């Protein structure tokens, strides 16, 4: 592309993460209903699973704010007593807890169960598919309710895209949204990547976000060897 460009600073973008900002649709309604049901859960733990960018982290943050939960990652260091002191914990396990952390996760589960607290697990797959070696932990997690975030339909994808642009104080025409939806993977992660790239390109080139700009940005995203 030709034309003047300007220096783009690497400023962080902070998305809106309130309950009112989460868009409810058929693909996520069951998960939303489960979290709204808290603290009336039938078990200590609830597992929320789905692909990257499906909205797990957003929902988990909504629940964390409501419940006052602590949060941790199952791939990093865990302090079960400190976490359990809050009475509620969000634990992001990714694909599964790290083998070295399994006993710590079990200890955390047991502490929360004793205190009638709750553990929200988030991961890409349901616990039944996690390669957990510790039998006691496996039995506890695989019997916990597991709810999936399903692939979004086009209506939800469009709404999420418009929201992500709005989070960045950007307005785009409907034709741009339609163009992108027809060409992006059916995931929130792909939408987020495209919105961020368009934001950077529009600022750098001092251009509005149009279909021609979207076409050029998508070409760059699919051919990363080209200069961005």
**Model confidence pLDDT, tens digit, residues 118-150:** 999 999 999 999 999 999 999 999 999 999 998
Place of tokens 């709404």: 159
What is residue 199's three-state secondary structure? helix
75 pLDDT above the threshold of 80: no
Cα 44 to Cα 145: distance, rounded to the nearest angstrom: 9
Residues 130 and 162 in one domain: no
pLDDT of the residue at 73: 86
225 pLDDT above the threshold of 60: no
pLDDT of the residue at 14: 38
pTM assigned to the model: 0.73
117 vs 152 pLDDT, higher one? 117
Count of structural domains within the chain: 2
pLDDT of the residue at 224: 57
For the residues 92-103, what does the mean pLDDT come to? 86
Residues 107 and 144 in one domain: yes
Strand partners, 147: 48
* Domain span at 187: 154-222
Which helix (H) or strand (E) covers residue 202, if one does? helix 188-205
Residues 61 and 172 in one domain: no
């Amino acid at each position: 592309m030709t034309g003047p460009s300007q220096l783009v600073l690497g400023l962080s973008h902070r998305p809106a993460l309130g309950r009112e900002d989460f868009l409810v649709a058929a693909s996520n309604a069951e998960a939303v209903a489960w979290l709204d049901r808290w603290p009336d859960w039938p078990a200590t733990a609830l597992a929320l699973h789905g692909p990257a960018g499906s909205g797990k982290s957003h929902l988990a943050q909504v629940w964390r704010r409501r419940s006052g939960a602590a949060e941790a990652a199952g791939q990093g260091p865990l302090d079960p007593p400190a976490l359990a002191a809050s009475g509620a914990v969000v634990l992001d396990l990714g694909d599964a807890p790290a083998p070295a952390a399994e006993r710590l996760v079990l200890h955390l589960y047991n502490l929360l169960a004793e205190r009638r607290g709750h553990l929200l697990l988030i991961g890409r797959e349901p616990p039944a598919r996690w390669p957990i070696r510790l039998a006691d932990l496996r039995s506890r997690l695989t019997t916990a309710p597991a709810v999936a975030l399903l692939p979004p339909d086009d209506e939800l994808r469009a709404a999420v895209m418009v929201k992500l642009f709005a989070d960045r104080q950007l307005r785009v025409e409907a034709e741009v949204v339609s163009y992108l939806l027809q060409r992006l993977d059916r995931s929130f992660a792909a939408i987020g990547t495209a919105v961020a790239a368009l934001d950077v390109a529009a600022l750098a080139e001092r251009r509005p976000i149009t279909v021609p700009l979207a076409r050029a940005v998508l070409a760059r995203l699919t051919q990363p060897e080209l200069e961005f």
